[in-house]
Chain A
Amino acid sequence: MKKNKLTFLIAEILLAAIAIFFASRIFFSEKPQKRVAVIIDNSGDEKWNAFVNGLKQAADTYNIHLIICNTDEIENGTEEKNLINEQLDNDIDAFIIQAAPGYDVHQMLTELADQKPVILVANDALTENIVENIHAASTLTKVMPDNYKMGYELGEEILKDNGASLNGKTLGIVGGLLETDCTMKRQQGLKDALADSGCVISWEINAGYDNNVMDILKWKAEVDYLAVLDNEALVQLCEREQSIANNDTLVYGIGTSIKSVYYLDEGRMECLVMADAYGMGYDSVDEIAKVLKGSVYKPDDHVIDTVVLRKEDIFTEETQKFLYTYE
């Protein structure tokens, strides 16, 4: 008799446990969304439109809550660290970060990567050995275009237009922010492409947050070619060109906003090298989602495609599809 009672009690308890389990699943079946913070400079700027489209589309697919941090210029590692800390307090599970300028950023980000998954976009964190070896890369996961290659391709385009010889021609280089990986790599790539061309580099300047590139250019000697390796500088240059009469300088640029395509269309530059920003956004969220799903997953680097655009290419179907990502 007693055995009966015992069996009965055990059965009831077991069933009750299962029932509670399923009942709880009814109410708590919603898995909290993973939260990913995106830290990029001037996050509201137009240049990130395609990137943000990619981020959002992937976030939608992978059910991730995206927080695009409100930023303006991120001038150094300390500012970036403050932003990161603020988000760490905000229950963030992972970060997608554009590395700030400076040599101290790499360590700060590597330390962060120990706590939470980190993916770098747009440009790498500067490592000390970049001076000796331009191809040096950080150990963090990177989803970005090959900045060196972009500079190199731009150089090649300049060569192409001149039958591979630039003897005696002058070139002015407008780079991006100092102490950033992308600026250094692009500049070096460009120079390497033009190394044997006979081209003379008249001057090199760097755009900054507080200045308008046109103000600096005013004081520089006129050159035959102008290579603009930074999107802001490119847009500023082309904007102002509206009111300045066309001089003979041929502009070649690297850009990320659709405005730069428009200016290419207008003939204000000869050639534009762009990266697939949508892809950068999409792939970075894709990788983050995979990391957040399973703890053993090691995220892969992605090298984002780049396109070289000329005016006649803009309205081809290929390019139209590419430009659709900016909508």
Chain B
Amino acid sequence: MNIKTRKNYDIQTIIMSVLTLLTIVSSIAMGLLLYTRYEKAMKQAEIEAADTLITSTVYSVEHYLLNMRQISNTISYNVIQEQDVSSREFNQELSLFYEMNKDKLQSIALYDNNGKLIAAEPVTSQKENVDVLTQNWFTSATEEIENMHFSTPHIQNLFRDDASRYHWVVSLSRSVDIIDGGTPRNGVLLIDMKYSGILDMLEKINRDNNGQYYYLCDSDGHIIYHPHTVEINRGTFIENNEEVASYEDGIYEDRINGENRKLIISTISYTGWKIVGVIPIDAKNETLIRFRYYIITIVIILIMMILFVNKIVSKKISSPILKLDDSVKAYEAGEKPSIYIGGSSEIRHLGRSVQKSYEQIEALMKEIVEQQNERRKSELDALQSQINPHFLYNTLESITWMIEGHRNEDAVFMISELAKLFRISLSKGKTIISIEDELQHCRSYMNIQKHRYKERFAIEYDIDSEILTYCTVKLILQPILENAIYYGVGDMDEDEDARIIVSGVIEDKDIYISVEDNGLGMREEDVKNILVDNQKVPKHGSGVGLINVHTRIQLMFGEEYGLLVESEADVGTKVTVHLPAVPYNKENCEELEKSKIWKG
């Protein structure tokens, strides 16, 4: 049969575990909450910052382009339309414009509708074999004459350069009305802005942005600036600029190459150009990662501290209980510890209750012991009164016969012996007498018996004189002698030399008084039963005697003392009385009388 024993956890473990679980769960929950909130806030802040940056960049670019357009306008209206292109003033004014804006402009050029160069600043020679008519800036200007046209960045393919350099430009072209030598004509005003102007603006906002970047494209999605232009051209970077160009301004989410990103789109007025800010959502922001570690560290330290506090708290709570428990355990183990009183009021109350209970138990136990002693005493007293009455009848009868037979000396002798006998029997109600008195009692008894049994047996006394002054329970030898007479030698013939020997010795702390007869003896079983159970022993008179004596001795002195019976059928019987050697004096008597169990 399988009995599964459920483990019983002690109170401290229970408190600790529960508190720990609580701590960990709540700390982690709090950490997670904080982190997610912060993350959200950061992402939000990131987007807002990007938005702000884009707004300001849009403003800058608009401003820049506006500037260009104003230059174009001014030249167109105030210079070209006012001046004849063949005049000196025309060239000077054009030159002035160029000088004023040299840092942003690569060149200003005026062509007629056939692609012939009319004027240009700065002055330099044209490249050979350049077909202006096919260039984008020219065609878009002539096709749509009402608007100004911005091109995408390209290498300027018009003029020779003294330093043999190519220049990347963004062209602003428009159709204009020219006055040439009085004749009105149509032409195209081309203002080539240095690409580096736009490049610088956008490169500045693209520095170190945690994976964010910003790019500029025109309304059809053609890239004007992108930090990864070359990679896009080579195919190693994918951007959805063409798609995005058709979106309205705003914030969008999309997914490219497995990466989620947020797009912020803002349009630059007039040109239709768009600035697109790309913020990867998943990007591992350094600050965010740091913050994550920070939170984790804090949470762990928090847990550590709270665990420590938990331990102290649980200990404080459980310790009085445990101490109380220990006291009780100690008590159960047999010690007599003082019960722990401490801790909270309930524990104190428990402690006190337990203590009181234990005290009550102690008291009750004491009472019981006392009662038992009392009982023993009465038992002893009772036992003492179980003396054979037959002996009295017979002895008085013998005396009557002696008086009737005029054997007066014998009668006197018998009566005085009887008197001695009874004097010692009473012993003024005392239980303890000296061995001398006890032996006197024996002699008296035996003297009386001898008369009755007409000296059919002999009685010898071999007593160590030393023992005479020791204590004994009264009336212990007489029953033994009685038995020895009745069951031992009483039925023996005269010639069989029946004798009874009473001997007594002292060995250190023990006194042995033995009554030995060479009578009938007892069977083995009877020997065994004789001190135990009075039912089995055949009675002549009342066999209570030996058990009575044995019990009384044990009641007084303890179980290690008493009678020892040895017998062999047809050989004899020897009964030995084992007593402790207690000198007969006042104190000892008093103590023994108080029925205190003798403790050697």
A residues near B (Cβ < 8 Å) are 1, 4, 8, 11-12, 15-16, 18-19, 22-23, 25-26, 29-30, 53-54, 57, 239, 258-259, 261-263, 265-267, 278-279, 282, 314-315, 320-321, 323-325, 327
B558 to chain A, nearest CB (A): 45
A-B contact count (CB 8 A): 79
**What's the minimum C-beta distance from A96 to chain B, rounded to whole angstroms?**
18
* CB neighbours of B304 from chain A (8 A): 12, 15-16, 19
Report the nearest B residue to A53, measured CB to CB: B230
B164: CB under 8 A from chain A? yes
Q: Is B234 an interface residue (CB 8 A)?
A: yes
Are B164 and A263 within 8 A (Cβ)?
yes
Is B143's beta carbon under 8 Å from chain A? Answer: no
Docked complex Cα distance between A267 and B16 (Å): 90
State whether the Cβ of B311 lies closer than 8 Å to any Cβ in chain A: yes
Across the two chains, which residue of chain A brings its CB closest to B162? A242
Q: Would A26 and B293 be within 8 Å (CB), given that A4-B16, A8-B307, A315-B155 are in contact?
A: yes
Contact A25 B307 (CB under 8 A): no
Extra contacts, 5 of them, besides A19-B300, A57-B228, A315-B157 (Cβ < 8 A), are A22-B300, A26-B297, A263-B164, A324-B229, A324-B230
Which one of B154, B168, B297 lies within 8 Å of A22 (CB-CB)?
A: B297
| A-B residue pairs, 10 tightest by C-beta | A19-B300, A321-B233, A22-B297, A262-B164, A26-B293, A22-B293, A23-B297, A25-B293, A22-B296, A15-B304
Judge if B453 is at the interface, Cβ distance under 8 Å. Answer: no
B127 x A265 contact (CB < 8 A):
yes
Mark each residue of chain B from 229 to 241: 1 if its CB lies under 8 Å from any CB of chain A, else 0: 1110110000000
Contact across chains for A8 and B300 when beta carbons are under 8 A apart: no
Say how far A283's CB is from chain B's closest CB, in angstroms: 10
Contacts of A266 in B (CB 8 A): 127, 160, 164
Residues of A with C-beta under 8 A to B289:
29
* Residues from chain B with Cβ under 8 Å of A53 in the complex: 230
A23 to B161, CA, bound (A): 60
Chain B residue nearest to A57 (CB atoms) is B230
Check if B290 is an interface residue, CB within 8 A of chain A.
yes
Is residue B473 contacting chain A, with contact meaning CB distance below 8 A? no
Expressed in whole angstroms, the Cα–Cα distance for A275 and B175 within the complex equals 40
Indicate if B599 sits at the interface (CB-CB under 8 A). Answer: no
With the chains together, A1 CA to B307 CA distance in Å?
16
B422 interface residue per 8 A CB criterion: no
28 contacts between A and B (CB under 8 A): A1-B10, A1-B12, A1-B322, A4-B12, A8-B307, A11-B307, A12-B304, A12-B307, A15-B304, A18-B300, A19-B300, A22-B297, A22-B300, A23-B293, A25-B293, A26-B297, A29-B286, A29-B289, A29-B290, A30-B286, A53-B230, A259-B165, A262-B161, A263-B164, A265-B127, A266-B160, A282-B231, A324-B233
Contact A325 B230 (CB under 8 A): yes
Q: Which of B12, B155, B228, B300 contacts A323 (CB 8 A)?
A: B155
CB of B301 within 8 A of chain A? yes
Contacting pair A57 B231 (CB below 8 A): yes
Residues of A within 8 A of B294 (CB): 26
Residue of A nearest to B234 (CB): A279
Could you say which residues of chain A place their CB within 8 Å of the CB of B322?
1
**B166 located at the interface, meaning its Cβ lies under 8 Å from any Cβ of chain A in the complex:** yes
Q: Which residues of A contact B12 (CB under 8 A)?
A: 1, 4
CB atoms of B166 and A258 under 8 A apart: yes
Of A278, A314, A315, most B-chain CB atoms within 10 Å? A315
How many angstroms between the C-alpha atoms of A278 and B228 in the bound complex? 13
A325–B160 Cα distance when bound, in Å, is 21
- The answer to whether the Cβ of B38 comes within 8 Å of any Cβ in the partner chain is no
Closest to B195 in A: A327
* Chain B residues whose CB sits within 8 angstroms of the CB of A25 once the complex forms: 293
Binary contact track B249-287/A, C-beta < 8 Å → 1, others 0:
000000000000000000000000000000000000010
Q: Is the CB of B293 within 8 A of A320?
A: no
Q: Please, which residues of chain B bring their CB within 8 A of the CB of A267?
A: 128
- Taken together as a complex, chains A and B put the C-alpha atoms of A314 and B300 apart, in Å, by 64
Q: Which residues of B contact A57 (CB under 8 A)?
A: 228, 230-231
Minimum CB–CB distance from A280 to chain B (whole Å) comes to: 12
Nearest CB on A from B325, distance (A): 12
Closest beta carbon of chain A to B250's beta carbon, Å? 29
Q: Which residue of B lies closest to A260 (CB)?
A: B164
* Docked-complex contact B166 and A278, CB < 8 angstroms: no
Say yes or no: B308 contacts A19, CB within 8 Å. Answer: no
- A30's closest neighbor in chain B, by CB? B286
- The interface centre, meaning the residue of B12, B234, B290, B303 with most chain A CB atoms within 10 A of its CB, is B234
Set of chain A residues within 8 Å of B296, measured between Cβ atoms: 22
Contact B166 A323 (CB under 8 A): yes
Shortest distance between the CB of B470 and any CB in chain A (Å):
58
Instruction: Report if B13 contacts A (CB, 8 A).
Output: yes
Q: How far is B195's CA from A327's CA once the two chains are assembled, in angstroms?
A: 10
When distances are taken between beta carbons in the complex, the residues of chain B under 8 Å from A258 are: 165-166
A17 to B: closest C-beta gap in Å? 10
B230 touches A278 (CB 8 A): yes
Is B164 within 8 A of A259, CB to CB?
Answer: yes
- Chain A residues near B311 (CB, 8 Å)? 8
Cβ distance A29 to chain B, nearest Cβ, rounded Å: 6
User: In the assembly, what is the distance between CA of A18 and CA of B297, in Å?
Assistant: 8
Q: How far is the CA of A53 from the CA of B230 in the complex (A)?
A: 10
Please encode chain B, from 305 to 322, with 1 for each CB lying within 8 Å of some chain A CB and 0 for all others.
001100100000000001
Most buried by B among A25, A259, A278: A25
Closest Cβ of chain A to B417, distance in Å, is 78
- The answer to whether B155 touches A320 (Cβ under 8 A) is yes
Q: Is the CB of B154 within 8 A of A320?
A: yes
A324-B229, A324-B230 are contacts. A262–B166 as well, Cβ < 8 Å? yes
Query: In the assembly, what is the distance between CA of A201 and CA of B289, in Å?
Result: 67
Residues of A contacting B303 in the complex (Cβ-Cβ under 8 angstroms): 15
Given the complex of chains A and B, what is the CA–CA distance between A320 and B155 in angstroms? 7
B120: shortest Cβ distance to chain A, in Å?
18
Residues of B close to A23: CB separation below 8 A? 293, 297
Chain B proximity of A300: nearest CB distance (Å): 15
Q: Is the CB of A4 within 8 A of B290?
A: no
CB distance from A233 to the nearest CB of B (A): 16
Write out the residue numbers on chain A whose beta carbons fall within 8 Å of the beta carbon of B234.
279, 282
In the assembled complex, which residues on chain B have CB atoms less than 8 Å from the CB atom of A8?
16, 307, 311
Task: Give Cα A147–Cα B304 distance, bound, in whole angstroms.
Answer: 66
Please, which residues of chain B bring their CB within 8 A of the CB of A22? Answer: 293, 296-297, 300
Task: Return A320 CB to nearest CB of chain B, in Å.
Answer: 6
Q: Which residues of A contact B127 (CB under 8 A)?
A: 265-266
Residues of B within 8 A of A265 (CB): 127
Q: How far is the CA of A327 from the CA of B168 in the complex (A)?
A: 8
Q: Who on chain A is nearest to B296 by CB?
A: A22
Smallest Cβ-Cβ distance to A278: which chain B residue: B230
Q: How far is the CB of A232 from chain B (nearest CB, A)?
A: 15
Residues of A near B168 (CB, < 8 A) are: 324, 327
Residue in B closest to A322 when the chains form the complex, CB atoms: B233
B349 to chain A, nearest CB (A): 25
Chain B window 150-172, contacts with chain A (Cβ cutoff 8 Å), 1 for yes, 0 for no: 00001101001100111010000
Q: Which residues of B contact A12 (CB under 8 A)?
A: 304, 307-308
Question: In the complex, what's the smallest C-beta–C-beta distance from A69 to chain B, in angstroms?
Answer: 24
The residue in B164, B231, B293 that gathers the most chain A C-beta atoms within 10 A of its C-beta is B164
Select the residue from A15, A57, A266, A314 with max chain B CB neighbours within 10 A: A15
